[in-house]
């Protein structure tokens, strides 16, 4: 497979971008589309070929991606299978299908190519069962796109409309790494290109070649390590630290949680990018992307100076339907101190069934609840019941 087809390697999935969408033929009024934000991902409803609404994550650099079970239900048949790498280290089997029309809140993109992949593991890892795919570069290529995390809206503007870049805010020049938008930035004075990735739940992820070249692992001496993300291809294991300052344009993000992936394959393992910037930084701004004119407008919002808090449980969980399976425990972290082990299954939390809570909601609670909060977990270990008390605290 031609190496250019790996251009859209992202933190949620590796995809092959379809042909660029034609730009809007006639001026249009701004179209405001409501969004949900779950686990740091932006979700919209979209219809394929006029069918029932499906739930897609908006991903700034991905091509269109569709879950294989949804493709089968829609009767979409693809060509020969091929292999792709995503965030995880395991290659995945993909195929490409043609979709006549994609309707996102009334904006219709025609003649689209979708990469079809299995979303089974990703849904379980994210705790988001209604997760049907990704919509990305094709939408951003056709419209000026504004993401307002505070208002929970996605606004699509005509590509010739000048008003989205008027008023306050800072304008930055965009470049592209494949189909991924990138800007110049620096991490504690070490500069390089940063990809901007709305599909990444994290804050700052430093790519392996950039870390090695600048000896950043030796500089930060990270002590915490564990599964810090999950994508197509499986888990992303990383060391966790905090950079003192990350600069994007004139903006200074203080002490963001910073992942140093330990990957040997996949997106984080190679390439010329310095860092991938995700939700933990991006949600501090209202973002206006204009791919056609290669520019980005950043307007700080109410969360701009808020502290960056990492999951205070110290473990990575997988949704098993009737419980949350412990996939990984950070050494010396809260879960380890409580005696939790990989393979344990959490059946209830403070007396409430795990299946009733939902993994995405519980992950949010592990970030939101204050330091020192005590949580009683009823678990199953090798078929035997056991109660443990988890005390939330920072691991990084």
Q: By the 8 A CB rule, do 80 and 95 touch? A: yes
CB-facing half-sphere around the CA of 287: CA atoms within 13 A: 23
Instruction: Report pTM.
Output: 0.92
Of 3.40.50.880, 3.40.50.960, 2.40.160.10, 2.40.70.10, the CATH number of 170-300 is 2.40.70.10
Report the distance separating Cα 217 and Cα 232, nearest Å: 26
Give burial (CB, 10 Å; 0-12/13-18/19+) of 24: middle
pLDDT value at position 10?
38
pLDDT bucket at 16, cuts 50 / 70 / 90: very low
How far out from the chain centre does Cα 15 lie?
14
Q: Distance between CA 208 and CA 268 in Å, rounded?
A: 6
DSSP 329-362: E-TTSHHHHTT--TT-EEEEETTEEHHHH-HHHH
| CATH 2.40.70.10 domain position(s) in the chain | 3-159, 170-300
pLDDT above 50: residue 274: yes
Distance (Å, whole) CA 42 – CA 58: 5
Extract the tokens encoding 66: 């569709």
Q: pLDDT tens for residues 138-163?
A: 999 999 999 999 999 999 999 999 99
Nearest to 332 by CA among 206, 209, 192, 226: 226
Is residue 63 predicted with pLDDT exceeding 90? no
Q: Residue 302: how many CA atoms within 13 Å on its side-chain side?
A: 4
Token pair, residue 58, equals 């908006």
Q: Give the number of C-alpha atoms closer than 13 A to the C-alpha of residue 354, restricted to the C-beta side.
A: 23
Q: What's residue 246's pLDDT?
A: 98
pLDDT at 26: 56
Architecture of domain 315-391: Roll (2.30)
Q: Tell me the average pLDDT of the chain.
A: 92
Residues forming CATH 2.30.42.10 domain(s) in the chain: 315-391
CATH for 3-159 is 2.40.70.10
* pLDDT beyond 80 at 11: no
């Amino acid at each position: 497979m031609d190496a250019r087809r790996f251009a859209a390697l992202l933190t949620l999935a590796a995809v092959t971008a379809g042909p660029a969408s034609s730009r809007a033929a006639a001026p249009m009024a701004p179209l405001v589309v409501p969004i949900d934000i779950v686990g740091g991902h932006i979700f919209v409803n979209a219809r394929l070929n006029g069918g029932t609404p499906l739930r897609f994550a908006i991903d700034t650099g991905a091509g269109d991606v569709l879950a294989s079970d949804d493709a089968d239900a829609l009767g979409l048949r693809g060509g020969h299978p091929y292999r792709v790498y995503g965030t995880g280290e395991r290659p995945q089997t993909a195929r490409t299908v043609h979709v006549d029309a994609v309707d996102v809140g009334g904006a219709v993109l025609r003649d689209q190519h979708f990469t079809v992949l299995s979303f089974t593991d990703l849904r379980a890892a994210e705790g988001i069962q209604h997760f049907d795919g990704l919509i990305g570069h094709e939408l951003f290529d056709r419209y000026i796109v504004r993401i307002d995390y505070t208002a929970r809206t996605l606004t699509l503007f005509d590509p010739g409309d000048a008003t989205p870049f008027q008023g306050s805010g800072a304008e930055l020049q965009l470049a592209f790494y494949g189909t991924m938008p990138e800007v110049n930035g620096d991490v504690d004075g070490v500069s390089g290109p940063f990809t901007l990735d709305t599909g990444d739940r994290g804050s700052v992820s430093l790519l392996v070649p950039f870390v090695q070249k600048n000896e950043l692992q030796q500089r930060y001496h990270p002590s915490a390590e564990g599964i810090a993300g999950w994508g197509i291809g499986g888990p992303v294991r990383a060391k966790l630290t905090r950079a003192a300052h990350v600069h994007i344009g004139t903006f200074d993000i203080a002490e963001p949680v910073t992942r140093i992936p330990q990957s040997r394959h996949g997106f984080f393992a190679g390439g010329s990018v310095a860092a991938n910037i995700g939700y933990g930084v991006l949600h501090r701004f209202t973002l206006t992307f204009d791919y056609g004119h290669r520019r980005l407008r950043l307007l700080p919002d109410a969360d701009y100076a808020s502290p960056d808090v990492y999951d205070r449980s110290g473990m990575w969980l997988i949704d098993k339907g009737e419980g949350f399976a412990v996939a990984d425990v950070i050494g010396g972290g809260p879960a380890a101190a409580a005696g939790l082990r990989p393979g344990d299954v959490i059946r209830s939390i403070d007396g409430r069934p795990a299946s009733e809570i939902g993994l995405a909601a519980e992950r949010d609670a592990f970030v939101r609840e204050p330091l020192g909060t005590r949580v009683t977990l009823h678990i199953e270990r090798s078929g035997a019941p056991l109660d443990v008390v988890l005390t939330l605290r920072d691991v990084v």
